Amino acid sequence: MPNEKIPKMRTIGEAIAAMRKSDPNTAFTQTALRRLVRSGEIPSVRIGNKYLINLDTLFSCLDIGDNTQTNKPESEPHGKIRRLG
């Protein structure tokens, strides 16, 4: 068991704090991270009302060299009423 790597799971607020610690001038916001988590673009685990994010996974998902999400077309246009559920 000592050789197993324990994931660094953090809440959205704690993940943003870790990002700011490593890059104090980051423009990435808590709201932006919450949107990415809720859309499923950033993997997370939901426990109650909180989302937990693996910091290593978060940083690898946000890696500029592997970012394929920037040119992704929108699945539904904004401003339209859509059915929930």
Q: Is the pLDDT of residue 68 over 70?
A: no
Q: Tens digit of pLDDT for each residue in 6-44?
A: 999 999 999 999 999 999 999 999 999 999 999 999 999
Does residue 70 sit within a domain? no
pLDDT class of 1 with cuts at 50, 70, 90: low
Count how many domains the chain has: 1
Joined tokens for residue 18:
């870790």
Per the structure block, which two tokens stand in for 42? Answer: 């950033």
> In whole numbers, what is the pLDDT of the chain averaged over residues?
83
Amino acid at 49: N
33 near 12, Cβ under 8 Å? Answer: yes
- 3-class SS of residue 69: coil
Residues 6 or more apart in contact with residue 62 via CB below 8 angstroms: 28
Residue 72 is assigned to a structural domain of this protein: no
Average pLDDT of the residues in 68-74: 49
Q: CB neighbours of 34 closer than 8 A, spacing ≥ 6? A: 12, 51
Domain, as residue range, for 34: 9-63
Indicate the pTM of the whole model: 0.67
